[in-house]
Amino acid sequence: MNSPASIPPNLIRVPSPLGELELTGDDDEVWSLSITRHGHLPLEGLPEAPNALLQRAAAELTEYFAGTRAAFDVPVRLSGGTEFQRSVWQGLATIPFGDHLSYGELGRSIGKSGAGRAIGGAVGANPAPILVGCHRVLASNGRITGFSAGEGIPTKQWLLRHEGIEYVA
Catalytic-role residue among 134, 138, 144, 160: 134
Residue 59: DSSP 8-state: H
Q: Which residues of 33-67 are buried (b: 16+ CB within 10 A; e: fewer)?
A: bbbbeeeebebeeeeeebbebbeebbebbeebbee
Taking CA atoms, 122 is separated from 2, 109, 147, in Å, by 24, 14, 12
Where on the phi/psi map is residue 80: left (φ > 0), alpha (ψ -120 to 50), or beta?
left
Does the annotation mark 160 as catalytic?
Answer: no
Give yes or no for a contact between 69 and 63, defined as CB atoms under 8 angstroms apart: yes
Q: Report in angstroms the alpha-carbon separations of 27 from 12, 50, 55, 124.
A: 13, 10, 11, 26
Active site amino acids:
134
